[in-house]
Amino acid sequence: MNLLSRSIVIMFLFDIVVYLFSTIFWFDYFKLPLNFMDLTVMITVLSGVLVLFLKDNYKVREFNVTLKNYYLLFEGVVFSQIPAAILLLMFADSVNSLEFLLVNLLTIFVLLRTYRVLFHYYLFNIKRIKNVLIVGAGKNAHLMADEIINKKALKMNVVGFIGDNEDKISNYSVKTLAKSSSLQDVIRANKIDIVIIATEQYLDETVLTDMVKSIPKGVKIYEMQDFYEMVTGKYFVDSVSINNLFFHYMKNRSVLYDICKRIYDVIAATIILLVTFPILLYIAIRVKLTDGGEPIYTQNRIGKDGKVFKAYKLRTMYKNDYIPTSNNLELANGQDSDSRVIPWCKFVRKARFDEIPQMVNILKGDMSIVGPRAEWEDLVHVYCQEIPMHKCRHWVKTGWTGWAQINQGHCFNGDDEKHKLEYDFYYIKHRNVFWEILILIKAIFLALGARHG
């Protein structure tokens, strides 16, 4: 996927340099064994940039100087030091290793934070604002404009719209494309850097020919669909785009991908089950002792092609018969404030331990590690009635975690579910095994911090 800003690449390279040279300098300063140096430097750099990537440091967003961001960056640097700490504390001098780890951690944090403060100042006070012209003046055009305006870190200014709609919407001036020279005049007069095509109908040959003549080579041009994906990480959904997604999905089906994904699912599910088994056993016993009910239960979930399967879960609620409707989606999604939740199981749910038994479903082939969330059968019936194109998310196997879960989390209403659907379609379009491995790693990080949706 194309990057909208080279600043993100520069930040990524700066982080690598900081991790690299700080680790080398302090390793030499504390006279640690040279035979561990190359390995320590390598795992520190790799784990460092990986953790920062998983914590969205290289995402198009605002880099605000806030106490929360200070904490999140510090947390990321601490996590990145864990592999080196395990190596050195087990095999090298423990006193010098501990001092090295603490000083290196603080040095990296201070340098990364200083750079981000400077970057924030550059972003909002020095960096040139790019002027954006949107061809189209309907609902899609204004949705795209709102996304740009709400993401101030993009440093883009929506100059206006060109289309047949003369209405004034928000604070934007709407210009009308009437003559063959009008587009060229607008681009020159407003020093346009980016043109986004957001018309809701196909452009005719006259308009297309005019655009070829009027848009200079230095001006970047995007389809609304592609630009929306780059800015939001979601797939814009309408009757036209869902047809495009269908053709893209059908054209890119691959036996090799299916084989690699199945191998990945089996390996990942087996490892997760083995590592968490003692915790699951403890939770199951304690749930049994709480009210005497069975700790494991099954729930009908919808999988690929709309097929129903029985998903295994650790019970975290008191027994209750419940049917979801469009008016109680928050309860249907089992929020932790729900009175049905056993009090001590709230963290179990936040860390997603209650859904780890679904690894058995993954081994059986009912679902995958990564994919659109496997929803409750009764809930799917509600969504399919109220949300257009919702059935299309079942073109692929549903997953234990996914792009929507790590970006949005739980849905509290129908509007949230519509946004989640856009994330699901984005996954369907861009899915590949390497990306899915990164999604799983981030999901584990979020689950350990009780922040996974």
pLDDT recorded at residue 167: 46
H helix intervals, 315-432:
329-332, 346-350, 358-364, 377-386, 403-407, 414-430
Residue 362 sits in the same domain as residue 404: yes
The answer to whether residue 353 sits within a structural domain is yes
Number of domains in the chain: 3
Residue 297 sits in the same domain as residue 164: no
Q: Tell me the C-alpha distance between 426 and 235, whole Å.
A: 5
The answer to whether residue 237 sits within a structural domain is no
H helix intervals, 92-214:
94-125, 139-150, 182-189, 205-214
Q: Tell me the C-alpha distance between 31 and 47, whole Å.
A: 23
Query: Which residue, 232, 264, 294, sits at the end of a domain?
Result: 232
Residue 272 sits in the same domain as residue 320: yes
Q: Tell me the C-alpha distance between 377 and 98, whole Å.
A: 52
Which runs of E-coded beta strand occur in 171-315? Answer: 173-175, 194-197, 220-223, 296-302, 308-314
Residue 116 sits in the same domain as residue 151: no
Q: Tell me the C-alpha distance between 155 and 127, whole Å.
A: 8
The answer to whether residue 20 sits within a structural domain is yes
Residue 66 sits in the same domain as residue 161: no
Residue 132: closest CA among 181, 178, 196, 223: 196
pLDDT recorded at residue 330: 52
The answer to whether residue 333 sits within a structural domain is yes
The answer to whether residue 238 sits within a structural domain is no
The answer to whether residue 242 sits within a structural domain is no
Residue 283 sits in the same domain as residue 184: no
Determine the structural domain holding residue 161 and report its residue range. Answer: 130-232
CB 223 within 8 A of CB 2: no
Tokens of 125: 């006070």
Please report, in tens digits, the pLDDT of each residue of the chain (453 residues total): 455 667 778 888 999 999 999 999 999 999 888 888 999 999 999 999 988 887 777 775 556 667 777 888 888 899 889 999 988 888 877 778 889 999 999 999 999 999 988 888 888 888 888 999 998 878 888 889 888 888 887 888 888 888 765 444 444 444 444 444 477 888 888 899 999 998 877 778 888 888 888 888 889 999 999 999 988 889 999 888 899 999 999 999 999 999 999 999 999 999 999 999 999 999 999 888 887 788 898 999 999 999 999 999 998 887 765 455 555 555 555 555 566 788 888 888 888 888 999 999 999 999 999 999 999 888 888 888 888 899 999 999 999 999 999 888 776 667 788 889 999 999 999 999 999 998 998 888 887 766 665
Report how far apart, in Å, the C-alpha atoms of 285 and of each of 290, 315, 350 are: 9, 11, 19
Query: Which residue, 70, 94, 125, sits at the end of a domain?
Result: 125
Tokens of 385: 């009635």
Residue 286 sits in the same domain as residue 175: no
Query: DSSP letter string over 161-176?
Result: EESS----BTTBEEE-
Query: Which residue, 125, 157, 188, sits at the end of a domain?
Result: 125
pTM: 0.82
Q: Residue 411, SS3?
A: coil
3-state secondary structure 32-58: CCHHHHHHHHHHHHHHHHHHHHHCCCC
Tokens of 169: 């919407």
The answer to whether residue 241 sits within a structural domain is no
Q: Residue 94, SS3?
A: helix
Tokens of 333: 């999604």
